[in-house]
Amino acid sequence: MLENPKMLALDIETSDLKGDRGRVFCAVFMDIANGNKIKIFREDEKQFRTKLTGDDSKLVRAIRDYMFDAFFWISYYGRGFDIPFLNTRLKIAEEWPIEKRKHIDLYYYTGGQNLKIGRRSLRVLAERFQFKIGKRDVEFPKWMIAGNERYNPSSKKQYKEAMNEIVGHCVKDVELLQPALNTLYPFIGTIKR
């Protein structure tokens, strides 16, 4: 039997939807099995910075290593985006991909034979079922500032503000996974890798 198994709710925020063109801004994890402890990985932390523009290799390696200790993961479209994006970034960095774990991807329980909601987004799910945690939006210019920081280093203050907003958005998404799991639990059958 596992002692204190990690059950990680996870989300990432990126500069692009394609892993070969974008980079990881941040990853947020909440250990649901152990008091909902939050762990944040940010590209602007000193230990993840490199001299190369767009090089997130240290960051994605640290994210992968943290995920390795989990018994299983909980995400919202993590199978379709987060894990493939991280694996693409790891392959570009010539690193091993993320080792598979049991993974509850709540996105797949919001449609098909389970539910029929207007749009299968985490925001719509939270609004429809009145989760207590509000979703936090980031205005488009903030994404642009964060994405271009290394090309315009004179705007460090704006970059830090943009990163703080993006990380806050990611934290809220992860916090929404707990009530989403509670809502969708009756539809979850076999948990796959």
**pLDDT per residue over 92-105, tens digit each?**
999 999 999 999 99
pLDDT beyond 80 at 4:
no
**Residue 1: is its pLDDT beyond 60?**
no
pLDDT at 108 over 70: yes
Question: Could you tell me which of 163, 179, 186, 146 has the C-alpha nearest to residue 76?
Answer: 179
Which tens digit of pLDDT belongs to each residue from 71-88? 889 999 999 999 999 999
Q: What is the mean pLDDT of residues 107-118?
A: 85
Beta strands 24-31 and 6-14, pairing class: antiparallel
Note the maximum CA span of the chain.
53
Segment 34-61 mean pLDDT? 91
Query: What structural domains and CATH numbers belong to the chain?
Result: 6-187 (3.30.420.10)
